[in-house]
Amino acid sequence: MNQSTVTIQEAADLSGKSLQTIRRAIKAKKLKARKSATPQGFSYSIDFNSLCALYKIKVQDETVEKAAQNQ
């Protein structure tokens, strides 16, 4: 993805929701996410813009830059 992405943990921290709630939103296709295989199983990269839209998160430029650097 060319857009900024965040992990499930980062999405939970930014939204104030639980990890399980974020996973449910991915499964229900309410959040745009990409599933990648890892040696331990799977990892998800969540589209930052879809996270902000779903949970109505208002962020400052610093937060967006920090999230983009964590990819």
User: What are the average pLDDT values for consecutive 10-residue runs of the chain, which has 71 residues?
Assistant: 81 96 98 97 96 88 57 53
Q: Are 4 and 59 in contact (CB under 8 A)?
A: no
**Could you give the dihedral angle defined by the CA atoms of residues 62, 70, 16 and 53, in that order, rounded to the nearest 10 degrees?**
70
Amino acid at 64: V
> Would you state the pLDDT for residue 37?
97
Lay out the sheet containing 5-6: strands in order across: 5-6, 41-47, 33-38
Angle CA 33–43–61, to nearest 5 = 55
Q: For the chain, give every domain's residue range.
A: 5-69
CATH for 5-69 (3.40.720, 3.40.50, 1.10.1660, 1.10.357): 1.10.1660
